[in-house]
Structure 1
Amino acid sequence: MAYAGLAQEYLGVPAVTRAYTTACVITTAAVQLELLTPFQLYFNPDLIFRKLQVWRLVTNFLFFGPLGFSFFFNMIFLYRYCRMLEEGSFRGRTADFVFMFLFGGFLMTLFGLFASLFFLGQAFTIMLVYVWSRRNPYIRMNFFGLLNFQAPFLPWVLMGFSLLLGNSIIIDLLGIAVGHIYYFLEDVFPNQPGGKKLLLTPSFLKMVFDTPEEDPNYNPLPEDHLENQPGDQDLNQQPPQ
C-alpha cells in the first residue's frame, strides 16, 4: 500500500518537474554507483564541438555533485519551485514552460562557452527560483527560521547562503541574470509602451506538449438529432417572431 501511495504521489507531479528531477536523481545515483563519472558529464566546449559529445549540453544540468547536504538542498529547491511554477503561472502551458527551460539553458550555455563553468544545474535552479519569486512578490518567506523577507529577495538569500558555505557565487549570479532576462522579456517589456512579446513559443512545442483547446462555440447536436430529416428545424435557428 505504501508503494502504491508513493507511485500515485510521483505520478501526480507535473510532467516537466517529474522528468527533470527524476533525471537529476538518476544521474547522481549513476555517479554514486560508479556507472558514470563526472568527467563524462561536465560542460566542455572542446569535447562537445570537436569530439561531438553533445550529451554534455544536457548532462551538465543534471549533476549536482555527490550525495550530501548540497545535493539535497539543491534538489529540494529545484523540486519545490519548478513544481510551483508548473502548477502556477505555467498551468496549462506546458509548451511555454519547456520553452523557458530551453531559453534559460541556451543562455547559460552561451555564458559557459566563455567561462570555466563545468556544471550549470545550480544556476538553473536559481533561475527557476528567481522567476517564481518575481511572479509572487508579496509572499512572505522564512529561511530556516532565521530570516523573514518578501519572495523577491529569496534568490539573493540563497546566494548569500551559498557564499557562507564557501561556494563561488558566479553560478548563482548567472542564474539570477538569466532569470531576470527571461522575466523582463516575458513579463515586463510586453507591458511597456511600445513593447511587444519577444519570446514566442515555437508551434512544434505547442503541438507536442499542449493539448488542443476545445472550441467554446462548439455545440454538438443531441444524439437523437445527429441526422436532420427533411422538414426538421435547425436547432441553432431562432424561432420566428
Structure 2
Amino acid sequence: MPPQAGQARNELLDWYQSIPPITKAIFTLSIVTTVAPALGLVSPFQLILNWNAITKLQLWRLISSFFLHKLDLGFAMNLYFAYRQSLQLENEVFAGRTADYLYFLLVTSIMQLAAARYLDLYVLSDGLMMTLTYLWSRHYRDVPMTFMFGIRFKAQYLPWVLVGYSYLTPGGSVVGSLVGIAAAHIYYYLTTTYPSQGGRRYLSTPAFLQRLFPQTTARGGFTAGGGFQMWPGNQQQQQQQQPQRTNVFGGHSWGRGQRLGT
C-alpha cells in the first residue's frame, strides 16, 4: 500500500520539529521574510534597513534585513547552504550551548549593523550567510570541498571562493559578504584565537542568555559527512575528524548558484 498523504505531512513536521532552535529560527525567518513580499503580503521596502524608519520605531527592520532575499533558485540553494552549516554549528561546535550560538549571531549582527550604517547597506542577508560560512570554515578547515567544474580546495578557503564567485557574477556585490566575514573573524579571534595564545577572552555570553538557554550535556550532532556521531566537546578534536569529501552544498554536484540580489 502506498504511503498516505497524512504520513508524508507527519514526516515533514517531524523533520521541522527536530531542527535545533537557532537553526530553525534562521530557516523559518528566511522563508517568511522572503516569501511574504513575493506574494504581495508586504512591501520589501518595509523590511529593508532604513535608519530613518528605525528612528520612528520600525525596529523590526533590524531583524528582517538579515533574512530578506530575492525569491529565485539562488535563494533555495543559499537557504539549504545556510541550513546545513548552521545545523552543524549548533549540533557540533556549539553542542549543548544554545546561548553561546545565539550570542555569536547577536555579536556579529551588531557589527554588521554598525558597518551598514556607514556603507549604506540595506539588506544584510549575504552578511548573515557569510558569518555562518566563515565560522564553519574555521572549525572544519580541513574538510575537502568541491566547487563548480570540479575545483577542489579545503573548507578554510570556502568564504573566499564564494566571494570570488559573487564578484565574477554579473551585477554581484561582495560588500555585504565581506562585512559578514569581517564580523565572524573578529568574533573568532576574540573568542578562540587570542585566548588560545594566552590572551584575555573579551567576549563571554551574558548571564541572562545562559539563564534563557541553560547549557546541556548533549554532545551529539550530525557529522560533516551526514552521519551521526558523538563529539567529545573539544574543538581541536572536532577539526581532526576526517569526514568524507563533499561540495559546498553537502554532497551534491551543483555550484553555488546566483548570489542574492543579482
Q: Shorter-chain TM-score: which interval? A: 0.7 to 0.9
The letter for the 1-side match of 2:31 is V
CA distance in 2, matches of 1:192, 1:162: 34
2:133 touches 2:159 (CA, 8 Å); kept in 1?
Answer: yes
2-side partners of 1:144 and 1:91: how far apart?
32
State the distance in 2 between where 1:37 and 1:86 align: 32
Residue matched to 1:226: none
SS at 1:149's partner residue? strand
Contact 2:163–2:174 (Cα < 8 Å) also in 1:
yes
After TM superposition, the score normalised by the length of structure 1 is: 0.84
CA distance in structure 2 between the partners assigned to 1:162 and 1:205 by the alignment: 35
Corresponding residue number in structure 2 for 1:44: 50
Residues 1:5 and 2:14 are matched in the alignment: no
How far apart, in 1, do the equivalents of 2:43 and 2:148 lie? Answer: 33
Aligned match for 2:191, one of 186, 189, 199: 186
How far residue 122 of structure 1 moved from its aligned partner, in angstroms, is 1.0
Residue by residue, what CA displacement relative to the aligned partner does 1:43-71 show, whole Å, maximum 9, x if unpaired?
0112112x121111011011112x21221
* Match of residue 59 from structure 1: 64
Residue identity over aligned pairs, in percent, reads 37
Aligned with 1:173 (options 159, 174, 178): 178
Counterpart CA distance in 2 for 1:177 and 1:26 is 27
Q: How many residues align?
A: 210
Contact 1:42–1:60 (Cα < 8 Å) also in 2: yes
Contact 1:63 1:121 in 2 (8 A): yes
- Measured after TM superposition, the shift of residue 123 of structure 1 is 0.7
Distance 1:136 1:60 in 2: 28
Whether the 8 Å contact between 1:141 and 1:148 is mirrored in structure 2 is yes
In structure 1, the gaps of 5 or more residues are: 214-241
Give 1:144 deviation, angstroms. Answer: 3.4
Give the 4+ runs in structure 1 shifted more than 4 A: none
Which of the pair has the greater relative contact order for Cα pairs under 8 Å at 6+ separation? 2
Shift of 1:164: 2.3
Q: Equivalent residue of 2:203, what SS? A: coil
Residue of structure 1 equivalent to 2:136: 132
Aligned to 2:200: 196
Q: 2:215, 2:185 → 1: CA distance? A: 29
For the pair shown, the structure with the greater C-alpha radius of gyration is 1
In structure 2, what is the Cα distance between the partners aligned to 1:116 and 1:73? 26
CA separation in 2, counterparts of 1:186 and 1:119? 27
Give TM-score, length-normalised by structure 2.
Answer: 0.77
Displacement of 1:30 in angstroms is 0.8
Letter in 1 for 2:93: S
Q: Show the 5 A alignment for 1:138-177.
A: 138-166=142-170, 167-177=172-182
Aligned partners of 1:64 and 1:74 also within 8 Å: no
